[in-house]
A and B are shown apart, each in its own frame.
Chain A
Amino acid sequence: MVVLLTTVGVLGHHYGSEGHIRRKLGQPPLAKASCFYCHFVSTTRLAWAQPRPHHDSPAGLAVSPDGKRLFIALDDRDEVAEADIGSRRVLRRAKVPGGPYGLALGPEGKRLFVTCRRGDRLAVLDAETLKQTDSLPVGTGPTAVAFCRTAAGERLIVANSMSDDISVISLAPLKELGRPVAGREPFAVAATSDGARAFVANRMVGLSSVKTVPASEVTVVDPATARVVRRDTLESAHLSEGVGLDEKRCWALTPLVKVRNMVPITQVAGGWVMSSGLAISDTKRGGIVQMPLDEANDFFADPSGVAVDPAGHRAFVASGGADVVSAVDLDRLAAWLGKADATERQEAICDLSLSAEYVVARIPTARNPRELVLSPDGATLLVAERLADSVLVVDANRLAPLGRIVLGDGGMEDPIRRGERVFTTAAYTFQHQFSCRSCHPDGHVDGLSYDFDGDGIGDNLLDNRSLLGVAGTGPFKWNGKNPTLEVQCGPRFARVLMRTEPFPPKQLRDLTTFIRSLPPPRAARNQDAKLTPSQERGRAIFFATRTPDGREIPLARRCVTCHPPPLYSVRLPFNIGTRGEHDTTEAFDTPHLLGVADTAPYLHDGRAQSLEELWTLYNPNDLHGVSSYMNKIQLNDLVEFLKTL
């Protein structure tokens, strides 16, 4: 045994030594590596590839016209449930494959429209039987649907969160009329009762230079013609997951996170980094005022769904990170806006004391309230408590909870579910300003670059990285200094970001378990489908050892040397010639490429807005792979292959 261990140790030392790694990489390693960086790597053994428990997490909600029945989308179960609101009992469930997420009912209450987020389709159910009567492919990742009746016929408006577009669908016959482009990650939709306009809230900011103020948009669609008629800009704001209409005042209400990513994130203590708000857009003319929902010393993180009562007196906003529904008195809000001049309106979002003027109640909920809906008469508010597997029933007049519709047991035996609860709560951050989810919606990425260093405002931004598929890709951070997720999310994170005590050990363990369970972003290509000729050619370029004219590509500058499958990362830092003037190092972590097409912008500071720019603009010396020989067709082929990972 001693001999064996000694032999293994000697061989390990020899082959795991710098010399061995240099031979493998064609350059000296800039950090220490173990045998497991290159050997025995398998995605099938990673946490996200393992079966996991499923939960009764409520997503979209819809109330029947008589206000008695509630339909609940259970995307994690591939089910739609029907509940009796009065008795708060679940009446039945029906299988709807593809991750049913967004719901809408036809006006007569007989047809239930369901967006299937994973299945990229719209399902039509008979609301009486919950049987599927029709189905239609839509864009990728549909999260929300709204019904409206126009002069040209009945319409459905579907927000396709992953393909960044909107499916406008006619019902007779069931057919997609058009798919206009939305903003980035359209997530919620509401249509006016006359069918003249639909409003689509987009979750992410548009791509732009990292040193410009980011902005997201509310996309305004004409349902009759399937055309976008206006794009209302939400400046310095993002993560809008809901939209509601006050038709009396011609208002569209969109919850938002006011983000200030270009101030040093160490300014959390000053309340400078992010706050919650409600955008009020004029549905006719498009002017927007952003109003705060937070209080000066207490924040209500991750605003999500919004519901407006039919009389236009109140709006309700779910704060997923704070476990609260805020009740906004729209009459008082309108009165304040009526008195405010243009400057006061412009600066309102920064004055957190203002919320006292119109937020009349904070209704506590169970974990992670997201979607909410009012009964047609406005008397009952229903709140999807996503991570508690329940729906809270609230008397909307008295602002008092009446009880719960229990869908599941909350999943507290499941460490992944417990970890998601930690991930989505703002309880651990200073003044409850944000949760992990505030920068990593659904574990993904908000598309922003943040100023993490104390070297001046906006001088040294770092691209936010997706947490999807990070299991097994450590070390972490762009400088590769955090060996594990436990370190990444541990005490230093608390000091720099949370400005509070670190996560307790058990919560930290659950949190990292949840993060490891997150699979990579869904690739554009169906994993079972064959590569197209272009993707095949791109694959050959990715794995090439020689240029097309026969010259050998140096080992250190082959794509596959630093990005070997199955993770497409060797997990070591390299100098690829991207050091910026404020960077303290020239070596940056090698990101994995699983789902890379869905993680723009690129490079450590987010300077590359597209995959193409990695090589057309930011690889002048062929340090980030030898790309200078490629013509545009070859580069396009390479990009098409990367999109399949």
Chain B
Amino acid sequence: MKDEPPFAWALSLLVLAAPALGLKAAPAAPDLPFPLIERFENFTMKDGLPSHKVHCVLSASDGKLWVGTYQGVLVREEGKFRKIGTEDGLSHPVIMCLAEDSRSGDVWIGTMRGLNRYSAGRITTYTQTSSGLPNNVVYGLDVVGGSLWVATAAGLGVLDLKTGSWSIFDQSNTVMHEPWVYAVKGAGDRVFVGVWGGGILEYEFSTAVFKEHRDPDRDFHFDLVPDDGPINDITAWIAWDDGILWQATYFGMSRYDGLRWRTWQEKKSPLLSNFLNFIWARGRVAWVGTDRGVSVTDGDTWVNYRTSPQGQGLVEIARPGQPPQTRTMPTHLANDFVLGITADQREAWFATSDGLSHATFAQAQK
């Protein structure tokens, strides 16, 4: 199904006036260090989605797409969506996060009330009353080795998938400043933990010790010294790949390569917005979900996807040492408030506050 702009006449005018406004049509394959989106295909409640809000997306190793919404999970297989809801045994309809155990293919589903394991059609529920789960509000998940790491509203839970034993880490037994754990990500020999109000914790398996990364200036609204550490302690999400950790906050974005930090804010960089909901890492590239669209960057080159006030899809490209370019697209995100992303070399999917977007890339990339 195609997304229809709300005001077709305005779009027509914009397209006609685009050359006069300095806007160009999106190039098929510009020379970029990451894929360029060519078009979006959107899925909304009109197309059968169970809710406006789509919170998270997961591209599973068997090719299925898992979509977490405000009203259950959708599984897309061979182009068709199948819903899994509380009627099927899910502990709660509001899905917060998804993670796959790539060895077993089991999908873990974090909800506003409990954790669920989907294993070949069977759903097993873990709640704070029935199991060792620290809290029912599950914000983030990652399977690291033989354990499931669970970010909850009352600390970090670790479930040993072989023994079924739970461990809990919170402010009572770690350096965690606050118990509100929003994100967790395995990083080879360590795990990074995003804490709302507590920056980032780094857990090293060899020492079994948590190390804290905090915003050195501890200021909520200003980043007094750039590149001195996490940009803010309000960690909304984290991502890690290829040795690079990325931090999304409501006050900007940070990157950590194990030695140095870099930080970005909207006024001093092409970053679309300081309000970051989500970040997805692939290789050394970050895909950033903000309240104003999506930024894609390797830290130097940036491409932003947003929707103009007139409903026109826009691509903004910023290369180091070159003037920024803004181009139009024939389609745009379902909504610019982006809550979740998954991307590979072929395609990307975006969870937004009003629908799900599927992005196809231009053919040739660097």
Q: Which residues of A contact B (CB under 8 A)?
A: 139, 163, 165, 178-181, 206, 217, 219-220, 225-231, 524, 534, 609-610, 612-613, 616-617, 631-633, 635-636, 639-640, 643
Contact A636 to B104, CB < 8 A, known contacts A231-B120, A231-B121, A610-B130: no
Q: A230 to chain B: which residues have CB within 8 Å? A: 120-121
Q: Are A227 and B121 in contact (CB under 8 A)?
A: no
Q: Are A636 and B132 in contact (CB under 8 A)?
A: yes
Interface positions of B from 108 to 163, Cβ below 8 Å from A: 117, 119-122, 124, 128-132, 134-135, 154-155, 162-163
- B169-189 interface bits toward A, Cβ cutoff 8 Å, 1 = contact, 0 = none: 010110000000000000000
Assembled-state Cα–Cα distance A228/B104 (Å): 7
Q: A219 to chain B: which residues have CB within 8 Å? A: 120
**Residue in contact with B167 in the complex, picked from A165, A616, A635, A636, CB distance below 8 Å:** A636
Assembled-state Cα–Cα distance A592/B298 (Å): 61
**Residue in contact with A180 in the complex, picked from B119, B124, B132, B135, CB distance below 8 Å:** B119
Assembled-state Cα–Cα distance A180/B105 (Å): 9
Q: For the complex, is B221 an interface residue (Cβ under 8 Å from A)? A: no
Q: Are A612 and B168 in contact (CB under 8 A)?
A: no
Q: B154 to chain A: which residues have CB within 8 Å? A: 632
Q: B120 to chain A: which residues have CB within 8 Å? A: 219-220, 227-231
Smallest CB-CB separation from B165: which chain A residue?
Answer: A640
**Residue in contact with B130 in the complex, picked from A165, A206, A220, A609, CB distance below 8 Å:** A609
**Residue in contact with A163 in the complex, picked from B121, B134, B162, CB distance below 8 Å:** B162
Closest A-B pairs by Cβ, 8 of them:
A616-B129, A228-B120, A636-B132, A227-B105, A180-B104, A633-B168, A178-B103, A231-B122
Q: For the complex, is B3 an interface residue (Cβ under 8 Å from A)? A: no
**Residue in contact with A534 in the complex, picked from B106, B124, B155, B167, CB distance below 8 Å:** B167
Q: Are B129 and A524 in contact (CB under 8 A)?
A: no
Q: A640 to chain B: which residues have CB within 8 Å? A: 165
Q: Are B104 and A227 in contact (CB under 8 A)?
A: yes
Min CB distance A356 to B, Å, is 36
Main secondary structure of the interface of B (DSSP, over half): loop
Assembled-state Cα–Cα distance A219/B120 (Å): 9
Contact A524 to B119, CB < 8 A, known contacts A227-B104, A227-B105, A632-B154: no
Smallest CB-CB separation from B167: which chain A residue?
Answer: A534
Contact A613 to B104, CB < 8 A, known contacts A181-B119, A632-B154, A633-B173: no
Assembled-state Cα–Cα distance A163/B161 (Å): 11
Q: Which of A139, A163, A534, A633 has the most CB of B within 10 A?
A: A633
Assembled-state Cα–Cα distance A220/B120 (Å): 9
Q: For the complex, is B166 an interface residue (Cβ under 8 Å from A)? A: yes
Smallest CB-CB separation from B166: which chain A residue?
Answer: A636
- Can you spell out 28 A-B residue pairs with CB atoms less than 8 angstroms apart? A178-B103, A178-B104, A179-B104, A180-B106, A181-B104, A181-B106, A181-B119, A226-B103, A226-B104, A227-B104, A227-B105, A227-B120, A228-B105, A228-B119, A229-B120, A231-B119, A231-B120, A534-B165, A534-B167, A612-B129, A612-B131, A613-B130, A631-B172, A632-B134, A632-B154, A632-B168, A633-B172, A639-B132
Min CB distance A282 to B, Å, is 15
Q: B119 to chain A: which residues have CB within 8 Å? A: 180-181, 228, 231
Assembled-state Cα–Cα distance A230/B103 (Å): 16
Assembled-state Cα–Cα distance A576/B165 (Å): 27
Smallest CB-CB separation from A163: which chain B residue?
Answer: B162
Contact A610 to B131, CB < 8 A, known contacts A178-B103, A227-B105: yes
Min CB distance A72 to B, Å, is 31
Q: 16 new A-B pairs (CB below 8 Å) besides A180-B119, A635-B132?
A: A180-B106, A225-B105, A226-B104, A227-B104, A228-B119, A231-B119, A231-B120, A524-B163, A534-B167, A610-B131, A613-B129, A616-B129, A617-B129, A617-B130, A636-B167, A639-B132
Assembled-state Cα–Cα distance A181/B103 (Å): 11
Smallest CB-CB separation from B122: which chain A residue?
Answer: A231
Assembled-state Cα–Cα distance A617/B130 (Å): 8
- B207-238 interface bits toward A, Cβ cutoff 8 Å, 1 = contact, 0 = none: 00000000000000000000000000000000
Q: B168 to chain A: which residues have CB within 8 Å? A: 632-633, 636
Q: A613 to chain B: which residues have CB within 8 Å? A: 129-130
Assembled-state Cα–Cα distance A219/B130 (Å): 24
Assembled-state Cα–Cα distance A179/B130 (Å): 24
Assembled-state Cα–Cα distance A122/B121 (Å): 29
Smallest CB-CB separation from A524: which chain B residue?
Answer: B163
Q: B173 to chain A: which residues have CB within 8 Å? A: 633
Assembled-state Cα–Cα distance A228/B105 (Å): 8
**Residue in contact with A612 in the complex, picked from B103, B106, B130, B172, CB distance below 8 Å:** B130
Q: A206 to chain B: which residues have CB within 8 Å? A: 122
Assembled-state Cα–Cα distance A631/B135 (Å): 11
Assembled-state Cα–Cα distance A452/B106 (Å): 39
- B314-333 interface bits toward A, Cβ cutoff 8 Å, 1 = contact, 0 = none: 00000000000000000000
Smallest CB-CB separation from A222: which chain B residue?
Answer: B105
Assembled-state Cα–Cα distance A421/B122 (Å): 38
Smallest CB-CB separation from A208: which chain B residue?
Answer: B89
Q: A163 to chain B: which residues have CB within 8 Å? A: 162
Q: B155 to chain A: which residues have CB within 8 Å? A: 632
Contact A633 to B130, CB < 8 A, known contacts A228-B104, A228-B105, A230-B120: no
Q: A632 to chain B: which residues have CB within 8 Å? A: 128, 132, 134-135, 154-155, 168
Assembled-state Cα–Cα distance A640/B155 (Å): 19
Q: B131 to chain A: which residues have CB within 8 Å? A: 610, 612
Q: Are B170 and A633 in contact (CB under 8 A)?
A: yes
Q: B130 to chain A: which residues have CB within 8 Å? A: 609-610, 612-613, 616-617
Q: B106 to chain A: which residues have CB within 8 Å? A: 180-181
Smallest CB-CB separation from A165: which chain B residue?
Answer: B162
Q: A610 to chain B: which residues have CB within 8 Å? A: 130-131
Smallest CB-CB separation from A633: which chain B residue?
Answer: B168
Min CB distance A175 to B, Å, is 13
Smallest CB-CB separation from A640: which chain B residue?
Answer: B165
